[in-house]
Amino acid sequence: MSSAAHAATSYLPPGSTLGVMGGGQLGRMFVHAAQQLGYFTAVLDEDPASPAGLVSHYHIATPYLDEQGLAQLMQRSAAITTEFENVPAAALRTLGAQRPVAPAADAVAVCQDRAAEKNHFRQSGVPTAPFASIGNEAELAAIGDDLLPGILKTAQLGYDGKGQRSVATRAELAEAWQSLGRSRCLLEKRLALRCELSVIVARARNGEMVELPVQQNRHHDGILAVTIAPVVDVAPALAAQAVAAARELASSLNYVGVLCVEFFVVDDGSADGALVANEMAPRPHNSGHYSVDACDVSQFELQVRTLVGAPLTAPRQHSPAVMLNLLGDLWFAADDSERPPRWDALLALPGVHLHLYGKLAPRRGRKMGHLTVTAADSASALAVARQAAAVLGLPTP
């Protein structure tokens, strides 16, 4: 057995060094969780001021595919994970040849391609919205009218609403495909949505799985704005179906690590609605940030545990929670002059947990942090979240 294969089946004790590809806020929170459990960390990200790099023991400031950077990460690390779904799968394959990597390159590659992802949903028996691939003029012409109105999405490199166009007619579809550089795309039929749910599951190398409570999400301009956990006004049977589907997807990918699956509850005329899968993220997810403050095991600790081969314990949510995303827009007045948010007034509210990501420059639309409100019940958490939104000038959740 090779050293890498042996390490993949062994528990890595505290004192080992864990590598992470990507230096954003998800990497930062992974680093904090790993350090709390006694691990050293090494981050590969070319930004010298990356949020994760600034707090890690080691920061390798190179591009993801830089051979010397990858060699340094392998030398430093006993096992390696990723914090960003668009880290090239080729880099993960290179690392995986020498070190345990979780999630593995093949699983990440499926999540990086919307067409492969949708096909994997269907092969796993998980329903999706009707869709079709568009990669050339012939496929564009072959699109059926039954898929309109719809949403045209680039097959790769799309997140937080990027690379998407809403289209209602064939003319709009053709124009949108041109505007997206005639790249390979996916057209999904627009459905009548009731809400979005997400499930975060952690799967170990031996197939053991645990999950966070099902989360309910609200978006603004394609970016997650609010997460409520536990869910409200969602049938328990539908939430259980979402958990079962997420577990099936993790198993069918032979996935190791933390996986988030997003679902839409669509209006099909029934009392509860129907569930369709939207997309997967091969990493911890924005909608699971509340787990740091509201659960006894966070999604980032689960990421550490799956990477090092530690036992998985089912997270218990001890407090109902509402999470609000904090974008760079909060740092700017209507005239675009920069002014700091009213953190002191925010922190005067009960049950507010503020998390800022250490990003040096705010920009509109950039995720700068989040806050979680915990309370004895969901109604109280939502009431304080609305007060917090009023203090910061956010839309009412």
CATH code of 368's domain: 3.30.470.20
Are 176 and 199 part of one and the same domain? no
Residue 161: pLDDT band (50, 70, 90) is: low
Lowest-confidence pick of 151-155, 252-256, 382-386: 151-155
Pull the structure tokens for residue 47.
């930004």
**Residue 3 pLDDT greater than 70, yes or no:** no
Query: Contact 284/298 with Cβ under 8 angstroms?
Result: no
Task: Look up the CATH number of the domain holding residue 78.
Answer: 3.40.50.20
Q: Which domain holds residue 311?
A: 193-392
Question: Among the three residues 138, 166, 189, which one is the final residue of a domain in this structure?
Answer: 189
Are 232 and 262 part of one and the same domain? yes
**Residue 364 pLDDT greater than 50, yes or no:** yes
Question: Among the three residues 139, 163, 189, which one is the final residue of a domain in this structure?
Answer: 189
Residue 23: pLDDT band (50, 70, 90) is: very high
Are 261 and 332 part of one and the same domain? yes
**How far from 269 is each of 46, 194, 304, 368, CA to CA, in Å?**
50, 11, 42, 39
Number of structural domains found in the chain: 3
* Rounded-to-integer distance, Cα 112 and Cα 140, Å: 22
Mean per-residue pLDDT of the chain: 94
* Rounded-to-integer distance, Cα 220 and Cα 216, Å: 14
Is residue 284 in some structural domain? Answer: yes
Is residue 123 in some structural domain? Answer: no
* Rounded-to-integer distance, Cα 303 and Cα 84, Å: 13
Are 321 and 265 part of one and the same domain? yes
Query: Contact 30/6 with Cβ under 8 angstroms?
Result: no
Nearest by Cα to 214 from 226, 228, 198: 198
Are 272 and 340 part of one and the same domain? yes
pLDDT (tens digit per residue) in 290-300: 999 999 999 99
Are 27 and 78 part of one and the same domain? yes
Are 179 and 244 part of one and the same domain? no
Are 164 and 206 part of one and the same domain? no
Are 325 and 281 part of one and the same domain? yes
Give me the pLDDT at residue 160, please.
Answer: 55
Are 290 and 336 part of one and the same domain? yes
Are 316 and 368 part of one and the same domain? yes
pLDDT (tens digit per residue) in 305-359: 999 999 999 999 999 999 999 999 999 988 889 999 999 999 999 999 999 999 9
**Residue 285 pLDDT greater than 90, yes or no:** yes
Are 339 and 271 part of one and the same domain? yes
* Rounded-to-integer distance, Cα 188 and Cα 149, Å: 9
**How far from 352 is each of 28, 290, 348, CA to CA, in Å?**
20, 11, 8
Is residue 8 in some structural domain? Answer: yes
Question: Among the three residues 59, 83, 101, which one is the final residue of a domain in this structure?
Answer: 101
